[in-house]
Chain A
């Protein structure tokens, strides 16, 4: 069974840059997995940040960017702010209409 891997936790200083990654337990992530990224704060529904690897969703500031880095999808936050402290989830499209979420990364801004 395919497992989508993310760092369980990460920390960044205010104003700093952080890159979260999204990998596969077996194999490499490519644009053909159409990686997407979501931000979730406690008690709230997820919010779409990035889709199709590197396209920002409506209203998402340009300090959020998506890419493929090596064999993983990546979400980079440049100039981190206090309200970026959230859980971040990636989703990979595995074909045949099936999507798989990563386990999520808890980002701390301190």
Chain B
């Protein structure tokens, strides 16, 4: 059964860059029709879609975050990654990676457990 696992620093200083990786196991990241996305949830708040990527490298971004976010994929490692630059306290959240079927048209069917990122000096 496909599994996703987020990893990265739990604490990031303001103005620095947040970097996270999602490792895909028991399945290939290079499978047709599957896109790979990042979603976040600030403490006590709702979910926010950040970005998604296809194994070919096609990327899609939330317009409100696009200027600070980069998503990338490494098919050789079966991983994809997220970078958020110039972070502030507002970027403090649980970050989830998820598989998006047909880039979300058929939902987000597999999720990682989430990783907590705190932005603080």
Give A contacts to B, CB under 8 Å.
1, 34, 36, 38, 40, 45-48, 50-52, 55, 57-58, 89, 91, 93, 96-104
Contact = CB atoms under 8 A, between A and B. Distances in A.
Nearest to B6: A45
Contacts of A55: 106
B29 to A, nearest CB: 17
Interface residues of B, number: 28
Contacts of A51: 101, 106-107, 109
B49 A34 contact: no
27 contacts: A1-B64, A34-B104, A34-B105, A34-B106, A36-B104, A45-B113, A45-B114, A46-B47, A46-B111, A48-B108, A51-B106, A51-B107, A57-B107, A89-B47, A91-B49, A91-B107, A97-B58, A97-B104, A98-B60, A99-B37, A99-B52, A99-B100, A99-B104, A101-B39, A101-B48, A101-B49, A104-B47
